[in-house]
Each structure stands twice: as structure tokens, then as C-alpha cells.
Amino acid sequence: MCKSTGLCGILSLLVAGFAPSYNEWLGSRRLPFVFWSSLMTSALMPTYARLPVAFRRGTGAWLEDTDGRHYLDALSGIAVCGLGHAHPAIAEALNDQARTLIHTSNLYEVPLQEKLGGWLCKLSGLEQVFFANSGAEANEAAIKLARRYGHEKGITRPEIIVADNAFHGRTLGALTATGNSKAQKGFGPLPEGFVRVPYNDAAAIEAAGNKNTVAVLIEPIQGEGGIRIPDNGYLKALRALCDQHGWLLMLDEVQAGIGRTGLWFGHQHEAISADVITVAKALANGVPIGACIAGGPAAGILGPGTHGTTFGGNPLAARAALAVIETIGHDDLLARAATLGERILRGFQDALKGTPGITEIRGRGLMLGIELEAPCPDLVEKALDAGLLINVTAGSVIRLLPPLILTDDEADQLVSTLAPLIDETARTQAGQRPASA
């Protein structure tokens, strides 16, 4: 990396100045990628601890880096590319829409947005949709909706109950709702109006409720928090509490939604309805979009002038999302996600049977977590070296979010590649010789 930002700026200007002649000169020559990447990233805020790899193309569940090496993507861009990379239906939709109309703003009617909203209402059983650009923005819309709902009931200091270890985004409202003190550090004072309780504890939510409570905001499965799957009946209990007290039940489906768990939304495994659902990530397979879906007492709360966005739900993003929904339905990918998830889960349970230091192997559909007793951040780079993309979250949980289009052979390859690495790490942590040694 450049030691001086000023020097990097000068070098960048010089590179830009002779770019045409450089392209002619380059020919068969090639300077090391690390040189150019360091030059280019010097202009970026260092908000990410990036892995030492860059990708130039993808196909299905595979990515190819700038050196031509291939990687099985078991992370899907953090649950974004549910249909994998370069899916023909998405590519065709984007290409056609880009040649037709990309953006007009929400000052005007957007027919594709109306169509997409209709589909999301049909799939969720709710009534209205506000489109944004990300999961954080969708959650901000939900937070504003809940507060306005409270004010309309005469509650001047409305409160939303949220959970420990939750993750709802990094904008200030969503960050405050997020149960991660490390992510919040240095950004105070944070907004008031949030009450935190343990996850998977309906009694704690009932005890925390008071005259200012207006909503409960919960993930049906905690993703960033470590693939935490609540007990059966937890969401039903929350639905009953909200009905009893007149609170809104708001479910953050940003990571669990759009087919990842084997149903359109994670909460549908308990056959309940929500008042507000937020989605993003997989909705447009990589094109930025988010949605706040509302129904029942939450419908009609946000009117003209109460909220807005320039880009949200523009023709390009809406067209991509419609292609995603159509493809999932046409290719029966909900059932496929459920079947693949069971195959991968059983594969790891069998392969890691008897390995010490493993707390739990859990999952629902293609949202899987393998929890170790000790932190295991080094597993990410070990997997990368083995041609596999994974993630470790909550310190000690290996998070797997492979695409819904994974083949059986690719699912088996995921297990056969990663299981020995996990075994080696867990046994080393336990002071044992790895089984492969």
C-alpha cells in the first residue's frame, strides 16, 4: 500500500494521464496485480479488511480470479447471488432493460416497480411496498414506519424491542437496532427508542414491553449473529404478543428471505404473518435493491412526503428482481434449496462426527452454520487457498450461504473440501493431531 495519500494521488493522476499510451505499451507485458490494486485502492476508505483476491468473472456457483484460478462460491456475495453468477435470465433482463430505460426517479409512475410490488405482496400476504437500495435502508423505513405508527397512537417516545446479537445494518437507526457493540463503538450518541432483549426468548420480550412499545424487530434466523435458528414456536409467540398488545411484528428477512431457507421467507416455516417484512440481498441477485413490505395496521402509515428515495425500485433494479422471482418459481428453487440444505447439513454431520471442539452444526435450507468452541478466523484464508469462499461470523461460526443453483456434485465438493479444514482447525485448537496428519 502507498504510505502517502498525496503520493498515491499524484501517481493516480499520472496513470490516468498516460492510460492510452500505457494500454498500447502493455501488450503482452503485465505488471503484478498487487501493484495496480494497491494504487487503485489507495483512493478508498479502508473500511474493509479485504482478502488478497480479486475476481474478473463468474459462472453459476464459480468465480474466476484475475490469475485464472477458480473458486467454489459458498457465500454468494453474502446471501446476494442466490441464482449464482451470470445467470442467463438475469443477464438477459439487465441487458434488455439497460437498452430500454434504467432510471426515471420516483417522481413518476414506474410500471416495473408496481409489478414487483404486486409480486412481493402476493408472496408475503401483505399489502404495500416501499422500495429502497439496501437492507439497511429497508430497515430504516421499517423503523420510521414503527415510530410514526406510535405517534399516531399518541405515543410521543415510541420504543422498538430488538434482540441481542442482531444485525440490521450500519445506518444510524439500523445500527442502534443492531446488537453489536463493536459495530456501534465510536458512533454515539446513537438514537434512543430501542430496548434490547435476549434472542429466542419470548418471555423477555413480554417483560420488556411497556406503554411506549410500538413494535418488535426480529430476524427469523440471525445471520450475522451466527446462523441462530430460534426454537419452534418462538415466532408464533411473538405474533401472539404483538396481537395482544397492539405492537407491530417486524421481521428482518434481509438474509433469510427470497428462497434461502427453502420458502420465500424464513418466518413462513412457522406459518405466521408479519406486519412488516424487510428484504434486500437476494432480491435482485446483485443489483442493489431493498424493500419494506407492510400490511394490516402497518399499511397506510407512510404517505406522501413521509419517506422517499431517489434510486429505490428503479426500472433496472425492478426488472432484475422480477427475473429472480420468475426464475425461482419456474425452476422450483425453493424445494431445491431445502433439499440441498439437508444434503450439505448431513454431509458435514457425517464428515465431522467425532471431531472435538465443534459446538453445533445447524442450518435451514441454504443458510448453514458450523460453530466451533474457539474463534477460527484463519479458516477463511485456508478455504480460499483450497479454492472455496466461506465466511466466519460471530467469531467462531463458519457461515455458509451457497447459491440455490448449486449442483449435487458441487454440494458434495463443498463438504469434502471444507470438512478436513474444519477438522484440522478444531483438533489443533483441542491440542490433538489432525485426522489427516
Quick one: DSSP state of residue 403?
-
List 73, 130, 131, 167, catalytic entry = 167
The CA distances from residue 243 to 203, 252, 335, 371, in Å, are: 15, 18, 31, 35
Work out the angle at residue 371's Cα, subtended by the Cα atoms of residues 367 and 373, and round it to the nearest 5 degrees.
Answer: 170
Question: Grid cell 424487530 — which residue?
Answer: 217
Phi/psi of residue 343, nearest 5 degrees? -65, -45
What is the enclosing helix (H) or strand (E) of 339? helix 333-351
Quick one: DSSP state of residue 192?
S
142 within 8 A of 274, measured Cβ to Cβ: no
List 73, 131, 281, 423, catalytic entry = 281
Work out the angle at residue 277's Cα, subtended by the Cα atoms of residues 137 and 102, and round it to the nearest 5 degrees.
Answer: 50
Is 131 assigned a catalytic role?
no
Question: Mind giving me the DSSP string for 355-367?
Answer: -TTEEEEEEETTE
Cell numbers for 283: 432480491
List 252, 265, 275, 423, catalytic entry = 252
CB atoms within 10 A of CB 242: 22
Phi/psi of residue 378, nearest 5 degrees? -65, -15
Work out the angle at residue 315's Cα, subtended by the Cα atoms of residues 311 and 318, and round it to the nearest 5 degrees.
Answer: 90
Is 167 assigned a catalytic role?
yes
Is 243 assigned a catalytic role?
no
Question: Mind giving me the DSSP string for 160-187?
Answer: EEEETT----SSHHHHHHS--HHHHTTS
- Identify the sign of the CA torsion 160, 167, 396, 265: positive
Active site residues: 167, 252, 281
